Structure 1
């Protein structure tokens, strides 16, 4: 498995094109503290997604920050991205691993103990628990797991997969970072908190520092 630094996952969502080109947003985040970038697009055609992903891959080249594609193994393959992030309704991790190879990054979403049990047996490089809090960035039919749920799911994964990095997503603010990390997360995933900020570079830097400080305090 590939060792992943999951301290700050910056998600460039297709809805952000009103802010700036997604490749530019990814570049700013990568230069100011993001440790992994995720491209998420629920509406574009496959061709459009591949073209967008290729542009982001090219922009991130040389930064050392990997790019994963949300949901779409085919887009990851075609664009040369570093891997994928998969939900419960997407391709299973074992098949994705066969297609993408041993060096690809495979991340999985965890919303419940059922998901956590599946992740424990899957060829995954990281997991992301959520939504932890309410969020306006994504329509989510599932209730937030909260800090208690985050801690419970994290404890299970720590016992089953002690070396697996685990992040937290949804409704994460600077003020909530210490509690999220204290509950067991190794990092956070953000969309609006970074890319709807007045100063994206400063917001990315601030979140990275907050995560680093919280992880240090936990240690």
Structure 2
């Protein structure tokens, strides 16, 4: 059986020309295909192929219009500084420091330890203004009454998304390019994370760093979603990242790697709130 994806039948030369442009710009095959599809829809809509007219219309990418009946519970459009933290103690510390959004990214093969950390993290943010997302452990997040869950692309295939939605938890999903953004758009998550913007050594990434130019294009395309930029972002890069229009920046070492994490969080928050430079 032929498993090759079927491309639009109209004007195939347009699709191949567009894909060649995308490939020359260094896009991975899945993103080049996605962009070529959008470019062909744009060509059919406008009546001509313009190699300089980068596709930007959500409809050309097949993104769904809003509002949506399948949408997960909403979260703030601007989640602000988003601290990704290794355990419940760190979650509580940053919540008390006033970080608006925190994520527990606890890695362990010990099921009992995972359950304890998730429950402890939920308790740690009580009485603070912080919104808590649990990375990966969606069932434990439901059981503990967390605010939300964050999942990677591979986790989407195994997690019970209807159960997360039915429980009223917010859902954040990772993306690394056009194809993955189109995939998660169909799920209608509470927020979309886009990265890695810059190089990071914290985890192996499926794609090369996206860079600011692509981040700006992604943020414009996905502007109906709450957006989080992630990956190698520090104080020096925050002003340029904020110009993209994202409402949140996720950081790890920019807080946990600092001698005074509370002061670092305050400094990063101030930078995010600063008026953009001209």
TM-score, reference length from structure 1: 0.85
Whole-Å separation in 1 of the counterparts to 2:166 and 2:150: 15
Q: Per-residue displacement from partner, 1:60-101 (whole Å, max 9, x unpaired)?
A: 111131211112211212322112101111135994243442
Q: Specify which of 160, 163, 168 is matched with residue 229 of structure 2.
A: 168
Count the aligned residue pairs. 204
Aligned residue for 2:75? Answer: 3
SS of equivalent residue, structure 1 residue 27? helix
Higher relative helix content: 1
Contact 1:165 1:186 in 2 (8 A): yes
SS of equivalent residue, structure 1 residue 134? coil
Contact 1:28 1:200 in 2 (8 A): no
Aligned residue for 2:111? Answer: 46
Counterpart check, 1:34 vs 2:99: yes
Residue correspondence of structure 1 range 10-89 to structure 2 within 5 A? 10-13=83-86, 22-89=87-154
Counterpart check, 1:197 vs 2:258: yes
For structure 1, which runs of at least 5 residues remain unmatched after alignment? 14-21
Aligned residue for 2:203? Answer: 138
Pairwise CA RMSD of aligned residues? Answer: 2.0
> Larger relative contact order (C-alpha < 8 A, sep ≥ 6)?
1
Contact 2:88 2:104 in 1 (8 A): no
Whole-Å separation in 1 of the counterparts to 2:158 and 2:206: 23
TM-score, reference length from structure 2: 0.68
Whole-Å separation in 1 of the counterparts to 2:125 and 2:234: 25
Worse-matched range after superposition: 88-97 or 164-173: 88-97
Larger Rg, first or second structure (1 or 2): 2
Contact 1:94 1:122 in 2 (8 A): no
